[in-house]
Amino acid sequence: MYGFKGKILVVDLDRKDFNIIEKDEPYYRKYMGGALLGAALYEEMIDGLEPVDSFASDNPIIFATGPMAGSTVCGATRVNILSTAPESTGIYLSQAGGEFGPAIKRAGFDALVITGKSDIPVVLDINNNRVRFVEVGDLWGMDQLDARKQLVTDMGKDYCIASIGPAGENKVRYANIMFEPEHYAGRGGLGAVLGSKLVKAVAVRGDQETVFKNPETVKQVNRKGRKDFAESIKKNPRSFLGVLRNLGTYGLLEMNRKIGNLPTHNFNSGCPEDTVDLKHYNHETAKEEIVGRITACKNCFVACKKSSKINPAHSSLPEYESIAMLGANIGLEDDLETCMEACELCNRLGLDTISTGNMIAWLMDCFESGVLDQEKEGYSIRFGDGQKVLELIRNITFRENDLGNLLADGIGQAIDKLGSQTMPYSRFVNGVGLPAHMPRKKPGIGFAYLHGPNPADHMKQEHDWMAAHSASLKKFNLKVTSAPDALDEAKIDVAKATQIYYAAMDSLSLCMFIFGPGNIFSFDEIIDMVNAATGFELSFEDLMQIGERTIQLQRKLYLKLGGEDSELLPFMEQEIPDGPSKGAKINKTDFDRARKYYYEIMGWDEEGCPKKETLKRLRI
């Protein structure tokens, strides 16, 4: 078999044992890898179990790779992680870069499944076909960076490590998983799943090569991509890919501020006020004073990961999402030092920066608006209260007081406790905090936020700009266009097509910065690379069917395990009051029509459930 190992490693923490499941070529033709393989394995593992609680012993967590993992292909290092989500309802899929996914492949497996619950805190030591359960000792309670350093010292640099921090140990519902100091799977709270299983870390090493059917073709396409990328950013260094190469996603701060797409003060505005000093957003200033050396994923020529020049002791330069949600969105737009400290604290303690930023912004807005009273609550926090932000992050991580303990259990519990009057200030969908893209500015993305699987995820379809770009749409055989600020049937047609495409790339565990539509590789080049790697003879239509199978199977599991689509959040109907995106909103009538049409074209019934004929057509 080419591109695949044909083996799935299943670790049982209850019995301190493991077994290896073998899969044949037809299985991989159907389920490929990554997101789709993870969903298929999850369905297999929970067969006969209902319901499945996120913290239950029988809730599996799955790490799945793609067919090109472990090779020199740029952007093939992603790992997909799937489980029932502590932060939300239903399953959630989170992803990260780094070398953990390729390490699973080098150990001889296409996926790792962890089930059961240990009776003591452990580190899983996976070395090719050998699995050991090692007592963690003093590692339990350590922050993620210190724990990683100790593990590398004890086990060696050739191990790739997934670990949790104290937030995961304490089952904070938006705890993340760290793979390397620059790589985190934050969404859904899957770090708390590992914490509930008493797994501090999973360390993997292997020495098995990934064998391709036609390795020379894979190399040729990859080399061409490198050359095309270098030429494109030389011609246009200020393009999206040029900014990623030169400044990382930090450079998106200025780009999003200019168009009114930077969440500010709990999404109430799309950019900071003109009176605020934002020189650190400026690309020239960022390059000279803030953005440090490249810390790229292996073999990546885009190299969006950077270190921090402003504070080299930090684990990495914060990503756009992190610095936006723990910056402008909580009133720290002009306090870069505290903002970065908050990002670093979340990284070390193991909190998702996006949901943490949303939680803090919600609390701030409630006090600012007067729906929470300082005298009654015995506490107050306002936009810009930087030191209180750092204190609150620690309170949440360690559940140190009543408020920290409450917020650690998620937005639903917090609203129930503090009162329904706080609900209009929530920027969460089914428990998951919104990413740093304004849903009123980008109504197509706003629409996607409200639907499962993976609510509040900005990386599951193309953003609204593409709907107005007819040349890009022709590649998807779409003859419609839609204005960037519209929410009409054409926008939903574009959403469906790009959701399916993104899901296909997720099933291959490929990075969207590299393999996003129109980024570096053409659709024909992607197909050439996949077929040369696997020996399959897929067409682009075949690949899109894999993407659709991914969405529909995830949707089936999402609904089965309690997930549901959200109604339009009240703030989304209100016009943005100022800035470049002034007046933008989502019209409720447009939203209702879009949802009805979306369900129809996705092959779902009026309740949003995949129809029997849809599942039968896709053989799921």
So where are the chain's domains? Answer: 7-205, 215-433, 443-617
Cα separation, 556 vs 548, in Å, equals 12
| Backbone φ and ψ of 290, nearest 5° | -120, -45
R_g of the chain computed on alpha carbons: 23
Average pLDDT over every residue of 422-443: 98
Average pLDDT, the chain: 97
pLDDT for position 48:
87
Average pLDDT over every residue of 124-134: 97
Q: Is residue 50 pLDDT above 80, yes or no? A: no
Cα separation, 605 vs 454, in Å, equals 19
Average pLDDT over every residue of 65-85: 97
CATH topology of domain 215-433: 1.10.569
| pLDDT > 70: percent of the chain | 100
Same CATH fold, 443-617 and 215-433?
A: no
Tallying the residues shown for the chain, one arrives at 620
| Backbone φ and ψ of 141, nearest 5° | 105, -15
559-604: pLDDT as tens digits: 999 999 999 999 999 999 999 999 999 999 999 999 999 999 999 9
Q: What CATH number labels 443-617?
A: 1.10.599.10
Q: Is residue 51 pLDDT above 80, yes or no? A: no
31-48: pLDDT as tens digits: 999 999 999 999 999 998
**Other CB atoms closer than 10 Å to residue 278's CB: what's the count?**
19
Average pLDDT over every residue of 352-365: 98
365-391: pLDDT as tens digits: 999 999 999 999 999 999 999 999 999
DSSP reduced 3-state for 366: helix
Average pLDDT over every residue of 143-155: 96
**541 Cβ contact list (under 8 Å, min separation 6):** none
**HEC string of 25-74?**
HHHHHHHCCHHHHHHHHHHHHCCCCCCCCCCCCCCCEEEECCCCCCCCCC
| pLDDT > 90: percent of the chain | 98
Q: Record the tokens describing residue 258, joined without a space.
A: 């200019």
- Please report which confidence band the pLDDT of residue 107 belongs to, taking 50, 70 and 90 as the band edges: very high
| 8 Å CB contact between 429 and 454 | no
Cα separation, 437 vs 256, in Å, equals 8
| 8 Å CB contact between 371 and 452 | no
Q: What are the helix (H) ranges across 421-562?
A: 443-449, 470-474, 489-507, 512-515, 523-534, 540-560
Domain 7-205 has CATH 3.60.9.10: yes
Nearest one of 195, 198, 200, 191 to 155, comparing CA atoms: 200
Beta strands in 209-309, from DSSP E residues, in sequence order: 291-294, 306-308
Q: What are the helix (H) ranges across 108-251?
A: 144-155, 166-169, 190-196, 215-235, 240-247
pLDDT for position 432:
98
Peptide bond into 312 cis (omega under 30): no
- Please report which confidence band the pLDDT of residue 49 belongs to, taking 50, 70 and 90 as the band edges: confident
pLDDT for position 490:
97
Q: Is residue 158 pLDDT above 80, yes or no? A: yes
Cα separation, 339 vs 321, in Å, equals 12
